[in-house]
Structure 1
Amino acid sequence: MKIESQHVVSLTYDLYVDQDGTENLVESATQEQPLTFLFGVGQMLPKFEENLSTLSTGDSYDFKLSAQDAYGEYDEEAVANLPKEMFNGTDIPEIGSILPLQDNNGNRFQGQVVSVAEDAVVVDLNHPMAGQELHFKGNIINVRPATPEELSHGHAHGADGHQGH
């Protein structure tokens, strides 16, 4: 079956990023644990979906996304100093830890602690893969129409349409 909007796609992938001139594998989805998502509803990177849009069940793919088409260029300004009082009484997070954050509008995002100063915790708000070209290789395992429930929920419920628990 060909991939179309409002279809559920299950696929395998290997994601490589270039680190010091060498492509390193940073993430995978396997046949046993595929990535399953509702196509065309904005869950995935737009250019990722665009590259898959002509494929069908059984097809393989191999494409690269520029940093601009993936998670954007690295933004030096996207570093925040959070006052230590924010962590009132809780442990000050360690360098490298990921913090779940929320802005004044209720939007959730994550930041990585890059340093701890005397009165503040310094957090990098860039996506961990900002500034990197992403190289995807994989296979389309299954494509099927989404169920009415999946469409109303706005996400896939697993490769077969049922959510596993």
Structure 2
Amino acid sequence: MKVQKNHVVELTYELIVDGKLADKATQDRPLDYIHGTHMLLPKFESEVEGKEPGEEFAFTLTPEEGYGTFDDSRLIELPKAAFEIDGKVREDLLVVGQIIPMLSNTGQVVQGTVHEVKADTVVMDFNHPMAGKTLNFTGKVVSVREATEKELKEGLHGEYLPQEEHECHCHKGEGACHGEGHKDGECCHGEGHKDGECCHGEGHKDGECCHGEGHCHKED
């Protein structure tokens, strides 16, 4: 059976960025997704479409085919007061490279990365972590099967369900869904959560950090 629309695909891969291993899904913990439902990068899906279990792949995505070019306008300088909890700045969070879930001006959770820490301000980077990067993928298709009606309606892991019904479930790989890096315990969309709680509106009140730890700054 070939990789095609509305089929569940399991695959292994390694992602090399700037000459280093950035992400992987192994034979023991493959990436699984429903093909053709916009869960992965479009160019990634087109590269594996038509392949059968056991077939290997190797391809490169340009920044434009991946997560876009780096946009300097998405570097935003915020006062350290934006990161206060109980009157104290959470200096432990303000480490270059630290990803902090925040709220946009539309109420959506966005991932901000600490870019620079100054005396009184913090420069946050709201570009995708892989923006401007060339993505080099190698891997193999493990299995292909038709998706069930329930999976097509609810998602492979319930991701189409209303948030109160959706268990924040990640794929069996070690790395990223969509090529987006995440740590153990984070959701497939790169949306971090703590103690089983998702960042997108669950487990935190308005104005609180998406970790449930305090302030969540709104991005302009």
Structure 1 Cα separation of the partners of residues 78 and 35 of structure 2: 37
Aligned to 1:8: 8
Aligned to 1:73: 69
Q: How does 1:11-90 map to 2 (within 5 A)?
A: 11-17=11-17, 19=18, 23-89=19-85
Bigger shift: residues 125-134 or 111-120: 111-120
Deviation at 1:156, TM superposition (A): 4.5
Secondary structure of the residue aligned to 1:121 is strand
Aligned to 2:90: 91
Aligned to 1:163: none
Letter in 2 for 1:119: D
Deviation at 1:38, TM superposition (A): 1.3
User: Runs of 5+ in structure 1 lacking a partner?
Assistant: 160-165
Structure 1 Cα separation of the partners of residues 22 and 84 of structure 2: 35
Question: Greater share of strand residues, 1 or 2?
Answer: 1
Asked if the contact 1:41/1:154 (under 8 Å) is kept, the reply is no
Letter in 2 for 1:15: L
State the aligned residue count. 155
Ranked by relative contact order (alpha carbons within 8 Å, sequence separation 6 or more), the top structure is 1
Q: Render the CA deviation track for 1:66-88: whole Å, top value 9, x for unaligned.
A: 11100111112110112322222
Q: Render the CA deviation track for 1:119-149: whole Å, top value 9, x for unaligned.
A: 3221111111111111111100011111222
Structure 2 Cα separation of the partners of residues 147 and 85 of structure 1: 49
Bigger shift: residues 149-158 or 47-56: 149-158
User: Runs of 5+ in structure 2 lacking a partner?
Assistant: 159-170, 173-220
Secondary structure of the residue aligned to 1:100 is strand
Asked if the contact 1:7/1:145 (under 8 Å) is kept, the reply is yes
Asked if the contact 1:3/1:56 (under 8 Å) is kept, the reply is yes
Aligned to 2:175: none
Structure 2 Cα separation of the partners of residues 105 and 5 of structure 1: 32
Give the share of equivalent positions with the same residue, in percent.
39
Aligned to 1:114: 115
Q: Render the CA deviation track for 1:64-112: whole Å, top value 9, x for unaligned.
A: 1111100111112110112322222251322221111221222222111
Q: RMSD of the alignment, in Å?
A: 1.8
Secondary structure of the residue aligned to 1:74 is coil
Runs of 4+ in 1 over 4 A off after TM superposition: 156-159
Deviation at 1:116, TM superposition (A): 2.0
